[in-house]
């Protein structure tokens, strides 16, 4: 099946690309890496590190995502009795334009639909990739760069690190335990790995405590922070109010929110904008 058999999505939506799972890897007990391949990936390109895509996944019991019969504005309309697919947001980790192969990592946390799907996925299964969109245009005038992420954001953090100028880097990752630690090519040897344990209610606490205790280098710096939404806001508030960073010196992303399944995209924690900061 190709994208040409899918009704054309309106221009305001990102391209829909049919792909096949070519290989499945397990870099850690909680991470599944999918190698997705397909002719529809021709022309796939991001605008910078930390871009996002949507995986359009089949509902339980279905072999592949069902196709809409048409679009009404931005809304896909399906035939009567057809269960629509569901969408989840991920980072395109690596793309090979020659082999038309895209790598995506999915973190298994909780028992949501995406976790259930990926644990039952097989080589040869077909899904749809929508996107990419977004990406950070990395400023090149920094004297130092702070990159901090929990396990949901490590793929994006990896891209950010690879795109940074050769300056001082302060790097911290929060994961469940030592088994989730793994080599990351662009991460410096001085990267701090923090272990929060199995209790999801402790999400972000280790990362927040670590960042409150570090010493930032002199000069102008930039921060890229992505983790649980409430923890991200606390870290953002600390960096602005106690470290003197301006909102323009940081990128903050709430990749998920404790107690909220399928936390919406676009949570940048910018509640402070327009309030005197």
Distance of CA 242 to the CA centre of its chain: 28
**Number of domains composing the chain:** 2
Q: Do 125 and 151 fall into the same domain?
A: no
Q: Do 175 and 226 fall into the same domain?
A: yes
* Domain final residue pick, 113, 133, 153: 133
Q: Do 156 and 223 fall into the same domain?
A: yes
Query: Which runs of consecutive H residues, i.e. helices, occur in the chain?
Result: 113-120, 154-163, 205-213, 229-241
Q: Do 44 and 108 fall into the same domain?
A: yes
**Tokens of residue 260, six digits:** 């909220």
Which residues, listed in sequence order, are joined to residue 32 by a DSSP beta bridge? 106
| Interatomic CA distance for residues 105 and 43, integer angstroms | 21
Q: Are 32 and 118 in contact (CB under 8 A)?
A: yes
Q: Do 160 and 91 fall into the same domain?
A: no
CATH of the domain at 160: 3.40.50.80
What would the mean pLDDT of 55-72 be, rounded to a whole number? Answer: 92
Q: Do 71 and 127 fall into the same domain?
A: yes
Average confidence score pLDDT of the chain:
91
* Domain final residue pick, 114, 133, 152: 133
**Which of 20-24, 53-57, 59-63, 273-277 has the lowest average pLDDT?**
273-277
Q: How far is CA 41 from CA 3, 89, 258, in A?
A: 10, 17, 33
* DSSP letter, residue 74: T
Please, what is the Cα angle at 148 between 146 and 149, to 5 degrees?
A: 155
User: What distance, in Å, lies between the first and last C-alpha atoms of the chain?
Assistant: 51
What would the mean pLDDT of 16-43 be, rounded to a whole number? Answer: 97
Assess if residue 138 is contained within a domain.
no
CATH of the domain at 22: 2.40.30.10
Q: Is residue 150 very low, low, confident or very high in pLDDT (cuts 50, 70, 90)? A: very high
Q: Do 72 and 148 fall into the same domain?
A: no
Assess if residue 139 is contained within a domain.
no
Q: Do 210 and 256 fall into the same domain?
A: yes
pLDDT digit string (tens) for 153-196? 999 999 999 999 999 999 999 999 999 999 888 877 789 999 99
Assess if residue 178 is contained within a domain.
yes
* Domain final residue pick, 111, 133, 155: 133
Which residues, listed in sequence order, are joined to residue 174 by a DSSP beta bridge? 150, 194
Q: Is residue 274 very low, low, confident or very high in pLDDT (cuts 50, 70, 90)? A: low
pTM greater than the 0.75 cutoff: yes
pLDDT above 90 (res 12): no
Task: Determine the structural domain holding residue 169 and report its residue range.
Answer: 144-272
| Interatomic CA distance for residues 33 and 93, integer angstroms | 9
**Tokens of residue 252, six digits:** 């903050």
């Amino acid at each position: 099946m190709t994208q040409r058999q899918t009704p054309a999505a309106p221009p305001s939506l990102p391209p829909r690309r049919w792909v096949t799972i070519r290989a499945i890897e397990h870099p850690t007990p909680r991470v599944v890496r999918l190698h997705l391949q397909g002719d529809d990936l021709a022309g796939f390109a991001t605008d910078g590190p930390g871009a996002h895509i949507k995986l359009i996944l089949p509902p339980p019991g279905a072999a592949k995502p069902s196709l809409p019969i048409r679009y009404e504005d931005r809304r896909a309309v399906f035939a009567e009795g057809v269960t629509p697919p569901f969408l989840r947001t991920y980072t395109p980790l690596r793309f090979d334009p020659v082999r038309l192969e895209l790598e995506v990592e999915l973190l298994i946390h909780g028992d949501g639909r995406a976790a259930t799907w990926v644990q039952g996925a097989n080589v040869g299964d077909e899904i749809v990739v929508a996107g990419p969109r977004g990406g950070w245009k990395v400023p090149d005038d920094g004297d130092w760069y702070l990159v901090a992420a929990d396990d949901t954001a490590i793929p994006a953090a990896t891209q950010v690190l690879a795109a940074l100028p050769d300056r001082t880097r302060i790097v911290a990752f929060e994961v469940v335990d030592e088994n989730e630690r793994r080599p990351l090519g662009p991460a410096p040897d001085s990267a701090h790995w923090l272990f929060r344990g199995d209790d999801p209610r402790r999400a972000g606490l280790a990362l927040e405590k670590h960042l409150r205790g570090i010493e930032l280098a002199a000069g102008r710096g930039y921060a890229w922070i992505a983790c649980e939404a409430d923890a991200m806001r606390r870290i953002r508030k600390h960096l602005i109010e106690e470290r003197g960073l301006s909102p323009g010196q940081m990128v903050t992303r709430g990749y998920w929110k404790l107690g909220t399944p399928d936390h919406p995209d676009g949570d940048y924690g910018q509640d402070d904008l327009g309030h005197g900061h």
